[in-house]
Structure 1
Amino acid sequence: MSEASKPGNFITQIIDKDTEAGKHGGKVHTRFPPEPNGYLHIGHAKSICLNFGIAERYQGQCNLRFDDTNPEKESVEYIESIKRDVEWLGFEWADEPKYASDYFDQLFAFACDLIKSGKAYVCELNAEQMREYRGTLKEPGKDSPYRDRSPEDNLALFMEMRDGKYADGEKVLRAKIDMASPNINMRDPIIYRIRHVRHHQTGDKWCVYPMYDFTHCLSDALENITHSICTLEFQDHRPLYDWTLDTLETFHPQQIEFARLNLNYTVTSKRKLKQLVDENHVEAWDDPRMPTISGMRRRGFTPTSIRNFCERIGVTKSDSVVDFGMLEHAIREDLDANANRAMAVLNPIKVTLTNYPEDKEEIFSVSNHPKNDEAGKREVPFSRNLFIDAADFEEVPPRKWKRLSLGTAVRLRGGYVITCDEAIKDEEGNVVELLCSYDENTLGVNPEGYKPKGVIHWVSANHAVDATVRLYDRLFNEEAPDAKHEDKTFLDFINPESMTVTTNAKLEASLAKAEPGVGFQFEREGYFCRDLKETGMVFNRTVTLRDSWVKIEAKG
């Protein structure tokens, strides 16, 4: 479905009115402006889909711009990861990636213009004094004792700040607006601060850096952005956005706020995600349990599934929490339709077909997808020695058991019907091998005289591919892990079973050629893909076949 044919929302309604009125000559120019201080997460995916999707809907453009005003927390690693994520989701930005640091000279000139017009001043209050003078939500702030310096003195001090004369935090540049404003963001906000730190794009050229609120609106203006779309937490910042652009008499984009994506059983704070990485609670930013786009990609999520998910949750003005199950449904739906099937035994138990010739092997032709003939077929080898999953055998079967037990028959997927004749146990009483017989007349047909109760998957032991399989689950076992909990932090809700590793899995031979990141349905096990980073045969479970959490929560 093209973007133009998709249902609209309150943002597209605003843009429709603008284009009908001929505003901006009917052009639509958006931007996606991440701060390069961490990897993108599922919440950013919604913003990416919205900003790039709107540009596509109106045959406009969308810029990728890095709002890189805080070099202490930023890195080239984060920049490169963001580029990869946007491209992987299937979007293209206009021209080359842009950086707020590209505009540092112009931003500095804008700040000087504010000083010259008496709309900004250099302040020497320290951080504690600044908080005290700022006031509260119920009480107005107080004017800084430095607020009435002359424009000439302020300009001279600002130049000295730029030239490195002062230490970090010794002075700041503040906009002169209204210390009694009911909106705290308008109480003479800081627009420049001193930071003697090397910038990843500009090197050591600057030791003063503009604040985000000052930078963002002017970067929008310099790029002729028509609609500056951001999340609801910036709604209270819009008056400052407008004041800055109006005061400097620049091109004025329209800021529009929408509700951010809140997903249960998840944290999306970059600070908290970084904490998970730095404290080794996860492997890295792209750990398949992380809600980062790179982590989801490594786990086996597809761009289509994420885009479909973002479309379904919609764009609204009110905050809400989306159930994690909706995201899992999106990937199940996509993989069910598009992932080839394969057989994998995760907890193997040996099966010997005692009446099958020892030197005989066969090749079965098995459908890659039961609902899609165009997916073709694959060749699956068969031999006397097999592996089945230990969960598919019960010596004393429960009621309505439809798998293998002593004296009963089952069909091997795509193969023969077999009957279990004997279970061999070790010294501790564990079943280690099943002696079975096969019926050579049952390949592709139902046997006469008896009917197998079920179908199980299997792998030829002579051709099996040894693999490590990681069974991933939700990283947190609490619905709202980052909410306020008495005497607990979000780290206390890390799910101890978020990753289970089995190193003895046996896969069918065709999976030896599996491409990293390509999804498969391991029959009756779930959806899996070969890991993007590991060089060996390591497969990650993307998602189970069904939502196992429904049962877990019901028990709870």
Structure 2
Amino acid sequence: MEEDKKPLNFIEQIIEEDLANGLSREKLRFRFPPEPNGYLHVGHTKAICINFGLGEKYGAPVNLRFDDTNPEKEEQEFVDSIKADIDWLGFKYDKELYASDYFDQLYDWAVQMIKDGKAYVDEQPSEIITEQRKNPFEDGIESPFRNRPVEESLELFEKMKNGEFEEGAMSLRAKIDMTSPNMNMRDPVMYRILKRPHHRTGDKWKIYPMYDWAHGESDYIEQISHSLCSLEFENHRPLYDWYLDQVYDESKTRNKQREFARMNVSYMITSKRKLQRLVAENAVTGWDDPRMPTISGMRRLGFTPTSIKNFIERVGVAKRENLIDIQLLEFFVREDLNKISTRVMAIVDPVKLVITNYPEDQEEWLETENNPEQEDAGTRKVPFSRELYIEREDFKEEGNKKFFRLKLGGEVRLKSAYIIKAESVDKDENGEITTIYATYDEKSKSGSGTEESLRKVKGTLHWVSAKHALPIEVRVYDRLFTTPQPDAEKETDFMEFLNPDSLKIVQGFAEPSLAHAEIGHPYQFQRIGYFTKDRDSTADKIVFNRTVTLKDGYKPE
């Protein structure tokens, strides 16, 4: 019996309708068009997965195009980070393109629009232009320069391009409709004077196209069939189409803009301006700080491409915005990490355990599994000796019937090793336990096949041999903000919701195999959580970031 096919989302329905109405499948082409003015964040993952996912579904090419029209905020660093993020997610783009590749063509089209009476040079300051637009319920005021002679606008526009005027002295505006209820149609600015070097074109240009003008025309130049963007651009679609009307050649594909809901995740913000502020004010260590909702930050924290893509698939393509619980994202992170993480033993809050009847000069290398979820994961050897470290919370002098870890007079099994019994403790002057003394049953060795080894105890603890312990720095990350929607309240600065406990650094010990851990490789610190080695690690200091806790009670519907 065939499985039911997954229903089409509304974007796929649009594409299927276009194909049914005569659009050639060979003309399907998509694009992901980021502005290189910051690192990509969790919200971008949805746009990336939608566009590249459609490319994979229909066997169509997908362009990576940087809409680099604002040299004030754009840097090569952001270009490089965006490319790295897309590569890490596992997507392949057909061409790497830039809106700046089309600056000459955009300028020529703007000149033609002036000649056609569809654009004019306005000498008013931006504040006056904004004031004259009024509001959707009141007609705007036409610029006194709106009907200036074509030859005059052409001459001024060329002088703007040549850098003969100061920034803000004038701009080129489209001549559309100052009475339109859509504010985007009220003679929008197409070019502004900006005497700033561009990261690709250098000092060639003294004027730069506005995003709305460059974006749709770039789609058209690249012959994108479906221009997909978030709902915030829905009111821009009439302007997008109007600009296309001025240059459209019926022999070519006319791109179609359609909008989908942005993805908002609790405890995260997706405003580049606000993310930039976090970096600038040193609330975080950089754009790729593991607490940041950037793709680079999530990668450094230990999230996987598979978990992010599974999350996006579950969220789906919607027409209305909603807030997604961050625990759903973390659920998919855990689900993937459980399958692929190497199980290791590490202690993040150590207390010494001495096995008094174990020979002082003896050590063993015991076999333990790498990942029981993988058939071919194999095993490795871990050292065992008389003195060990265990987690402080795994011991109580007295414990009730529900405490199945170690307590005085009680027995537990040490993972892949022996059954031990706690006998006594040493304490410091503050009453803090410094050493636990225990005895072991030498016939209870895991996997020995003896009757003693088969006897059951309710608790199993992880441990690290003190003699062989590898010192590690453990960075325990939590939510960056204390509230699910830190930027929802306009009256309150989102920075006031920063979590002072978003990062705790502790010193721990790990089994010696982690001396060879690779940066980014996922590990499960048994009974603690999922971790990954951080790039801050050096020969003298090995750093691990906690990706997520081992489990929580969240289950997706």
- Provide the TM-score with structure 1 as the length reference: 0.95
The answer for the alignment partner of 1:348 in structure 2 is: 350
- The one-letter code sitting in structure 1 at the alignment partner of 2:109 is F
Listed one character per residue, the Cα deviations across residues 357-387 of structure 1 (whole Å, up to 9, x for unaligned) are 1111111110111232311111111011100
SS in structure 2 of the partner of residue 73 of structure 1: coil
Q: Distance in 1 between matches of 2:375 and 2:126?
A: 68
The answer for the alignment partner of 1:30 in structure 2 is: 30
The answer for the alignment partner of 1:15 in structure 2 is: 15
Does the 8 A contact of 2:290 with 2:300 survive in 1? yes
SS in structure 1 of the partner of residue 136 of structure 2: coil
- The one-letter code sitting in structure 1 at the alignment partner of 2:378 is G
Superposition pairs of residues 445-464 of structure 1, within 5 angstroms: 447=452, 451-464=456-469
Listed one character per residue, the Cα deviations across residues 157-204 of structure 1 (whole Å, up to 9, x for unaligned) are 100111111110110000000000010000000000000100000000
* Candidates 464, 469, 477, aligned match of 2:474: 469
SS in structure 1 of the partner of residue 228 of structure 2: strand
SS in structure 2 of the partner of residue 308 of structure 1: helix
Listed one character per residue, the Cα deviations across residues 29-64 of structure 1 (whole Å, up to 9, x for unaligned) are 000000000000011111111111101110100000
SS in structure 2 of the partner of residue 23 of structure 1: coil
* Candidates 320, 323, 347, aligned match of 2:322: 320
The answer for the alignment partner of 2:551 in structure 1 is: 546
Q: Distance in 1 between matches of 2:451 and 2:174?
A: 83
Listed one character per residue, the Cα deviations across residues 496-554 of structure 1 (whole Å, up to 9, x for unaligned) are 11111102x0101111111110101111100001013432310000000123899xxxx
SS in structure 1 of the partner of residue 298 of structure 2: helix
The answer for the alignment partner of 1:553 in structure 2 is: none
Q: Distance in 2 between matches of 1:6 and 1:170?
A: 56
How much has 1:298 moved relative to structure 2? 0.4
SS in structure 2 of the partner of residue 229 of structure 1: strand
Q: Does 1:127 align with 2:126?
A: yes
Does the 8 A contact of 2:328 with 2:554 survive in 1? no
- The one-letter code sitting in structure 2 at the alignment partner of 1:64 is L
* Candidates 292, 300, 308, aligned match of 1:298: 300
- Provide the TM-score with structure 2 as the length reference: 0.95
Does the 8 A contact of 1:409 with 1:451 survive in 2? no
Does the 8 A contact of 1:37 with 1:75 survive in 2? yes
- The one-letter code sitting in structure 2 at the alignment partner of 1:497 is D
- The one-letter code sitting in structure 1 at the alignment partner of 2:503 is M
Listed one character per residue, the Cα deviations across residues 111-148 of structure 1 (whole Å, up to 9, x for unaligned) are 00100000000001112211221011211101100000
Structure 1 unaligned blocks of 5 or more: 551-556
Listed one character per residue, the Cα deviations across residues 283-309 of structure 1 (whole Å, up to 9, x for unaligned) are 000000000000000000111111111
How much has 1:447 moved relative to structure 2? 3.9
Deviates more, 1:515-524 or 1:19-28: 19-28
SS in structure 2 of the partner of residue 38 of structure 1: coil
SS in structure 2 of the partner of residue 421 of structure 1: strand
Superposition pairs of residues 39-50 of structure 1, within 5 angstroms: 39-50=39-50
**Identity of aligned pairs, percent?**
52
Q: Does 1:514 align with 2:517?
A: yes
The answer for the alignment partner of 2:532 in structure 1 is: 529
How much has 1:428 moved relative to structure 2? 1.7
Q: Distance in 2 between matches of 1:177 and 1:455?
A: 74
Q: How many residues align?
A: 543
Listed one character per residue, the Cα deviations across residues 70-110 of structure 1 (whole Å, up to 9, x for unaligned) are 00000000000000001000011113x11100000000001
How much has 1:399 moved relative to structure 2? 4.3
- The one-letter code sitting in structure 2 at the alignment partner of 1:467 is I
Does the 8 A contact of 2:136 with 2:180 survive in 1? no
The answer for the alignment partner of 1:480 in structure 2 is: 485
SS in structure 2 of the partner of residue 301 of structure 1: coil
The answer for the alignment partner of 2:337 in structure 1 is: 335
How much has 1:24 moved relative to structure 2? 4.3
Q: Distance in 1 between matches of 2:189 and 2:14?
A: 32
- After superposing on structure 2, the runs of 4+ consecutive aligned residues of structure 1 that deviate more than 6 Å are none
How much has 1:450 moved relative to structure 2? 7.7
- The one-letter code sitting in structure 2 at the alignment partner of 1:48 is I
Q: Distance in 1 between matches of 2:131 and 2:454?
A: 89
The answer for the alignment partner of 2:209 in structure 1 is: 210
Listed one character per residue, the Cα deviations across residues 447-469 of structure 1 (whole Å, up to 9, x for unaligned) are 49985331111001111111000
Q: Distance in 2 between matches of 1:92 and 1:128?
A: 43
Q: Distance in 2 between matches of 1:398 and 1:174?
A: 77
How much has 1:489 moved relative to structure 2? 1.2
- The one-letter code sitting in structure 1 at the alignment partner of 2:334 is R
Listed one character per residue, the Cα deviations across residues 272-291 of structure 1 (whole Å, up to 9, x for unaligned) are 00100000000000000000
The answer for the alignment partner of 1:144 in structure 2 is: 143
The answer for the alignment partner of 1:386 in structure 2 is: 388
Over 3 Å counting, the alpha-carbon distance change for 1:449 and 1:93 in structure 2 is: closer
SS in structure 1 of the partner of residue 383 of structure 2: strand
Q: Distance in 2 between matches of 1:204 and 1:492?
A: 41
How much has 1:247 moved relative to structure 2? 1.9
- The one-letter code sitting in structure 1 at the alignment partner of 2:77 is E
SS in structure 2 of the partner of residue 382 of structure 1: strand
Does the 8 A contact of 2:192 with 2:209 survive in 1? yes
* Candidates 500, 503, 510, aligned match of 1:499: 503
Superposition pairs of residues 405-424 of structure 1, within 5 angstroms: 405-424=407-426
Over 3 Å counting, the alpha-carbon distance change for 1:284 and 1:384 in structure 2 is: same
Over 3 Å counting, the alpha-carbon distance change for 1:485 and 1:72 in structure 2 is: closer
Does the 8 A contact of 1:408 with 1:452 survive in 2? no
Does the 8 A contact of 1:19 with 1:27 survive in 2? no
Structure 2 unaligned blocks of 5 or more: none
Listed one character per residue, the Cα deviations across residues 335-370 of structure 1 (whole Å, up to 9, x for unaligned) are 011112111110100111110011111111101112
Q: Distance in 2 between matches of 1:190 and 1:447?
A: 83
Over 3 Å counting, the alpha-carbon distance change for 1:315 and 1:497 in structure 2 is: same
Over 3 Å counting, the alpha-carbon distance change for 1:522 and 1:449 in structure 2 is: closer
Q: Distance in 2 between matches of 1:84 and 1:99?
A: 17
- The one-letter code sitting in structure 1 at the alignment partner of 2:218 is S
- The one-letter code sitting in structure 2 at the alignment partner of 1:495 is N
Over 3 Å counting, the alpha-carbon distance change for 1:29 and 1:446 in structure 2 is: farther
Over 3 Å counting, the alpha-carbon distance change for 1:518 and 1:549 in structure 2 is: same
The answer for the alignment partner of 2:262 in structure 1 is: 260
How much has 1:21 moved relative to structure 2? 2.6
Q: Distance in 2 between matches of 1:310 and 1:447?
A: 50
Deviates more, 1:250-259 or 1:226-235: 250-259
SS in structure 2 of the partner of residue 512 of structure 1: helix
SS in structure 1 of the partner of residue 537 of structure 2: coil
The answer for the alignment partner of 2:200 in structure 1 is: 201
SS in structure 2 of the partner of residue 242 of structure 1: helix
- The one-letter code sitting in structure 1 at the alignment partner of 2:8 is G
Q: Distance in 1 between matches of 2:393 and 2:150?
A: 79
Over 3 Å counting, the alpha-carbon distance change for 1:43 and 1:469 in structure 2 is: same
